[in-house]
Amino acid sequence: MQRLSLTEQHLIEAVDPAPMLAQVQAWSALNTGTGNLPGLAEQARLLADAFAELPGDVRLIEPDPVTAIAADGTTVAREHGRHLVLSVRPQARRRLLLTGHMDTVFPADHPFQHQAWLDETTLNGPGVADMKGGIAVILAALTAFESSPASQSTGYDVLINSDEETGSLSSAPLIAGLPSEPARLAYRFSARPVGMELSDVRYVTQPLYALTLFVVTAPRLTLRVVYDRKRYAGETIRALLSDYRNLLLRIAENPEQRVTSMLLGQRA
């Protein structure tokens, strides 16, 4: 196991667990079921205040429109809370993306609303682990990181969405669009009665990661590959997406068939 460097040890030692615990307990006491819009609004405000201690720009982004089918077959709008985005040193050549969510699976009328200590070191409560505790870790880690000289050459984005527990439908376009100007090929697959149509191919510069696949399901299925041109040729990425398109078509034609058998048949 690789040991921590002296710098890394000092950063960890600077993290005080007491404020983190206090944050988690305060946030967990606030119900943020995905459909509880007042609770999510208050949680977003608290998170915006907390992350404002870091350098950069904190924004609360309005959710994208989402619709659902009601029991009577009509289309209805599904409301969601705002999403938090923090951007720090967006022009840095080295950038990180950290994501999390403020919503939980427990609605306002769910019986699980209170915290309890299971033992001296284990706190049980709504959202304590998933993932208000994780948000506190992100905030503490970035606060410690800002005290390091390396921070000045590194930028990062933090996205905390409000609808992860129901599929991130109102935040999916925001997630897909967060990386600023990476090298990417964006392919849009439009479902048709006779298959899928390939369209909307774009390319821009400045890669962030070696290879990342983004999938956006609404309002139409969109696949976006972000890749490093120094490691992958454009033909390789096109072939990858072509294989993935064929796999999706096979799944649509025979949803009961195992994906592994489809992959074996595709290789053959």
Question: What was the pLDDT predicted at 209?
Answer: 61
188: three-class secondary structure by DSSP: strand
Number of residues that this document lists for the chain = 268
Question: What was the pLDDT predicted at 25?
Answer: 97
Strand locations in 121-239 (E): 122-124, 154-161, 184-192, 195-199, 203-204, 211-216, 222-227
Looking at the structure, tell me whether residues 97 and 50 fall in a common domain: yes
Alpha-carbon distance of 107 to 32, in angstroms, equals 7
Residue of 179 and 61 predicted with greater confidence:
61
Question: What was the pLDDT predicted at 231?
Answer: 80
- HSE at residue 225, side-chain half, CA atoms within 13 A, is 22
Question: What was the pLDDT predicted at 130?
Answer: 92
Alpha-carbon distance of 70 to 92, in angstroms, equals 46
DSSP string, 108-154: TT-S----EEEETTEEE-TTIIIIIHHHHHHHHHHHHHTTSGGGGGE
Q: Roughly what angle, to the nearest 10 degrees, separates helices 37-51 and 17-28?
A: 160
Q: Which letter does DSSP use for residue 91 in this model?
A: T
Q: Which letter does DSSP use for residue 68 in this model?
A: E
Beta bridge mates, 98: 158
Looking at the structure, tell me whether residues 30 and 117 fall in a common domain: yes
User: What CATH number is given to the structural domain containing 150?
Assistant: 3.40.630.10
Looking at the structure, tell me whether residues 159 and 227 fall in a common domain: no
Question: What was the pLDDT predicted at 213?
Answer: 78
Domain annotation covers residue 129: yes
**Confidence check: pLDDT of 43 > 80:** yes
Alpha-carbon distance of 143 to 228, in angstroms, equals 29
- Point out the domain boundary residue: 114, 134, 165: 165
Domain annotation covers residue 174: no
- Point out the domain boundary residue: 165, 189, 219: 165
In sequence order, which residues have a C-beta less than 8 Å from that of residue 74 and are 6 or more positions away?
none
Domain annotation covers residue 16: yes
Tokens of 262: 């489809």
pTM confidence score: 0.67
Alpha-carbon distance of 84 to 81, in angstroms, equals 10
Domain annotation covers residue 172: no
Q: Provide the mean pLDDT of the chain.
A: 84
With a pLDDT cut of 90, the percent of the chain lying above it is: 50
Looking at the structure, tell me whether residues 116 and 246 fall in a common domain: no
Residue 230: domain span: 181-268
Alpha-carbon distance of 89 to 187, in angstroms, equals 29
Looking at the structure, tell me whether residues 118 and 85 fall in a common domain: yes
Number of compact structural domains in the chain: 2
